[in-house]
Amino acid sequence: MPYWLMKSEPDEVSIDDLAGMPEKTIAWFGVRNYQARNYMRDSMKLGDEVFFYHSSCPEPGIAGIAKVVSDAYPDESQFDKKSKYFEPAATRENPRWFNVDVQFVKKTRLVSLQELRDDPKLESLIILKRGNRLSITPVTPAEWKLILKKMG
């Protein structure tokens, strides 16, 4: 699965924030959903490409492209008592949560959620399915190509 979509709240980390990071790279910490974790830990590979999606904001949609630049490793925030992501059950020997590092590739025009919904060819896109809340989802090569094209 070489293509992914990752959601981020722009109030937390926007595509512009990512572009402004050292090395234009961030650790994708704070994922606390097992399925999303498993995608990072078990399926993501170095160089996989990612649609960077802005969620919970005035204009939800895909705002840019990033890529996976590390294998998964234990999420540091699970060990931090002061973090909202602290996980009491996790130990260094037996961590529960993992993350990869993600690097900025480019900002694109915003391909809005509505625009994605309006294209019948994108019916299969997981984030468009009813009730979907998963913050990390695979994207098929066909979906990837189609959305790239929309970006122009």
Partner DNA sequence: GCCAACGTTGGC
Question: Nearest distance from residue 26's CB to DNA, in Å?
Answer: 17
Q: Please tell me the distance from the alpha carbon of residue 118 to that of residue 120, in angstroms, as a whole number.
A: 6
CB nearer DNA, residue 35 or residue 124:
35
- Distance of closest approach, residue 1 Cβ to DNA, in angstroms: 18
Give dist(CA 125, CA 147) in Å, integer.
Answer: 11
The residue ranges of DSSP E strands in 19-118, in sequence order, are 25-27, 49-54, 61-68, 73-74, 98-99, 101-112
Please identify, using beta-carbon distances, which residue of 9 and 17 lies nearer to DNA: 9
- Cβ 72 vs Cβ 44: under 8 Å: yes
Cα gap 70→74, rounded to integer Å: 12
Compute the least distance from the CB of residue 129 to DNA, in Å.
Answer: 7
* Eight-state DSSP code of residue 66: E
In the complex with DNA, the residue whose CB is nearer, 46 or 57, is: 57
Chain residues binding DNA by CB under 7 A are 7, 9, 32-35, 55-57, 60, 113-114, 130-135
**Smallest separation, CB 68 to DNA (Å):** 19
Nearer CB in complex with DNA: 113/151: 113
